[in-house]
Amino acid sequence: MYKKYVRRKIFRLFLPLFISCNVTNIFGNSKFLKKIGFFFSPFFLDPIFKETHPENPNRIKLAVTRIKVNAFLKKNIIFFPIRSVSENELLLIHTSIHINKIRKTYGNRIDKIARTGVGAVLSACDCIIEGKISRAFVASRPPGHHAINYGREEGFCFYNNISIATKYLQKKGFRKILIIDWDYHHGDGTEHFFYDDPSVMFFSTHDWSAYPGTGDPSRKGKGKGKGYNINIHLPCGSNNSDIERAFLNHLKPKALDFAPDFVLISAGFDSRDGDLLGCFKINDEGYRNLTKITSEISNQSAGGRIISILEGGYNPNGVASSVETHIEELILSY
């Protein structure tokens, strides 16, 4: 009888680790706050393009495997389920013409993978809104920061995950959002959606000469949004100190002045040394330092709230190693 009671107790104790964010856990909220929510779906292991295409499931598979065997991360990560995304949530950013064309052109299977990416980011938002966690990493693919409303895939992106999350968080009461994009490529989609919006600060480091050819540093925003769009061009060969300098000189002071309620990261690891598509020389230590600076901003003004979303990164070993370091630092610096 006593054994049965203990078993039931243990079961109830671990139950919250497996339940959705819509259910209040029996610990209350504080117990999980120092842990990182991890959002991943087997749908992300489904190919979208041809096997030889750089955007393939291997770029995420190895990262997930490494996280699962890392003792420190295992102790500090909670795997949460992913909810589906509604049409109205996609409409926060996209037009119905874009949504319908994506489904029609690429079919239900690919549309489902791309929508699951949005669902993963919104699930992370829900978990933080409900006080289950303060930080999350979304290990999703395909990326999203190039998606606009042209009714087609742009730079491997279908739906702009981070922009949808921004609008969603604002609807839920977070007024000012800081988006940091350290992908090798400029986040043209994200810039497009918030270019005249003073409630969203967009900071992007990128190689202006690479795809999609946008990211001119003289483009600083429009109307009331002037000054809230920060483009930093880094040339081929840029290394840790180049990108860290950009973060310390051009992001940190402006971001602290802006005082965001929430920080989102377009975490592209194609800015890493040895990437298939990029030519920067940033290594794991560089991403650790960028994570630290981002954390300092968030700790000072946004209650430590950060959602980091995987964007590019086309060297599976490199992505795995940097994602591991990045998540480690998200935990340590909170």
Q: How far is the CB of 100 from Zn ion (least distance, A)?
A: 27
CB-based burial label for 74 (10 Å; 0-12, 13-18, 19+): exposed
| Comparison of 225 and 286: residue with beta carbon closer to Zn ion | 286
Residue 123 or residue 238: which is nearer to Zn ion going by CB? Answer: 238
In whole angstroms, the minimum distance from the beta carbon of 186 to Zn ion comes to: 9
Residue with tokens 């791309």: 114
Min dist CB 145 to Zn ion, Å, is 8
For 80-113, give one letter per residue: b (16+ CB within 10 A) or e.
Answer: bebeebeeebbebbbeeebbeebbeebeeebbeb
Shortest distance, CB of residue 33 to Zn ion, whole angstroms?
A: 32
How many residues at the interface with Zn ion, by CB under 5 A?
A: 6
> Cα(218)–Cα(249) distance, rounded to whole angstroms?
16
Q: Which of residues 300-319 bind Zn ion (CB under 5 A)?
A: 312
What are φ and ψ of residue 233, in 5° steps?
A: -85, 130
Euclidean distance between CA atoms 159 and 174, whole angstroms: 22
- Our CB check for Zn ion shows the closer of 215 and 225 to be 215
Binding mask 129-168 for Zn ion (x = CB under 5 A): ----------------------------------------
Q: Judge contact between 252 and 298, C-beta under 8 A.
A: no
Nearest residue to Zn ion by CB is: 312
Residues between 169 and 208 with contacts to Zn ion, criterion CB under 5 A: 183-185
- Tell me the DSSP string of 293-326: HHHHHHHHHSTT-EEEEE-----HHHHHHHHHHH
Residue 224: CB minimum distance to Zn ion, A? 29
Query: One of 146, 185, 206, 326 is an active-site residue; which one?
Result: 146
Instruction: Return the residue matching tokens 């409303």.
Output: 149
Tokens of 100: 């319908």
Nearer to Zn ion, 170 or 238 (CB): 238
**Which string of DSSP letters, residue by residue, matches 2-71?**
HHHHHHHHHHHHHGGGTS-TTS--TT-SGGGTTSEEEE--GGGGS--S-TTSSSSTHHHHHHHHHHHH-H
Among 191, 197, 270, 273, binds Zn ion (CB under 5 A): 270
Q: Which is nearer to Zn ion, 38 or 182 (CB)?
A: 182
| CB of 270 or CB of 273, closer to Zn ion | 270
Query: Catalytic annotation on 185?
Result: no
**In the bound complex, what is the minimum distance in angstroms from residue 94's beta carbon to Zn ion?**
20
Catalytic site residues? 146
Residues that bind Zn ion (CB under 5 A): 183-185, 268, 270, 312
